[in-house]
């Protein structure tokens, strides 16, 4: 078991593009997602990263420990099995993922497709929960721990299904700055 310490942010603008190291297409299906933060996910990756060529697939179980930390059990599975499991998933989503060259942790940025377009979310994996993080200007509202914007929730209730009032309520907090997150 690994512990994943991660913070997430809504993204505005295109300033992140100058930091791209790699990109890949992801299809994710949720076989189980409970209210207490336990998810079982199947992921199919197209393998267009510097480290990987060809398709790869994973079966992952995640469980909430704190708002920032999750227990993660991840296993490589055959691509054919992943395709079958995606067909059984109660909800799914697709996105283009970009690895970014930024200080402070392992940064990725997800550009959601389909019913979750035009949502863009940056994630950074940290070494410690209390790690101080300097945010790029294009990182807007922090959404760490906000269940409605978890990938599992977006698979079940996509961004396009949100009412304008719900979207505006989420975005009303404005930009995050260092005092908001330290």
Residues of the domain holding 38: 2-181
pLDDT at 174 over 50: no
What is the C-alpha separation between 27 and 94, in angstroms, rounded?
A: 4
Predicted local distance difference test score (pLDDT) of residue 158 = 98
Predicted structure pTM score: 0.90
Tokens linked to 139: 């990182």
- What's 135's DSSP letter? P
168 falls in which pLDDT band (50, 70, 90)? confident
172 falls in which pLDDT band (50, 70, 90)? confident
Mean pLDDT for the stretch of residues 56-82:
97
Q: pLDDT (tens digit, 9 = 90+) per residue, 86-121?
A: 999 999 999 999 999 999 999 999 999 999 999 999
CA distances from 13 to 10, 23, 106, 137, 176 (A): 10, 18, 20, 9, 15
Q: Which residues sit opposite 23 in a β-bridge?
A: 98
Number of CB atoms found within 10 A of residue 139's CB: 27
What CATH number does the domain containing 7 carry? 2.40.320.10
- Would you please indicate which residues are annotated as catalytic (active-site) residues? 30
Q: Report the mean per-residue pLDDT for the chain.
A: 91
Q: How many structural domains comprise the chain?
A: 1
Predicted local distance difference test score (pLDDT) of residue 159 = 96
Mean pLDDT for the stretch of residues 15-34:
96
């Amino acid at each position: 078991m690994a512990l994943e310490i991660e913070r997430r942010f809504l993204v505005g603008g295109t300033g992140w593009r100058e930091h791209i190291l790699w990109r890949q297409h992801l299809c994710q299906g949720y076989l189980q997602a409970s209210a207490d933060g336990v998810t079982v996910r199947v992921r199919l990756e197209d393998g267009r990263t510097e480290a990987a060529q060809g398709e790869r697939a994973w079966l992952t179980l995640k469980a909430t420990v704190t708002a920032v930390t999750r227990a993660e059990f991840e296993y490589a599975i055959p691509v054919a099995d992943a395709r079958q499991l995606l067909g059984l998933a109660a909800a799914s989503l697709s996105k283009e993922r970009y690895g970014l060259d930024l200080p402070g942790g392992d940064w990725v940025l997800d550009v959601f497709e389909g019913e979750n377009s035009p949502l863009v979310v940056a994630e950074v994996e940290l070494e410690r929960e209390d790690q101080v993080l300097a945010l790029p200007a294009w990182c807007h509202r922090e959404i760490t721990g906000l269940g409605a914007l978890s990938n599992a929730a977006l698979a079940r209730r996509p961004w396009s299904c949100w009412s304008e009032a719900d979207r505006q309520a989420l975005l009303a907090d404005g930009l995050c700055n260092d005092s908001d997150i330290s």
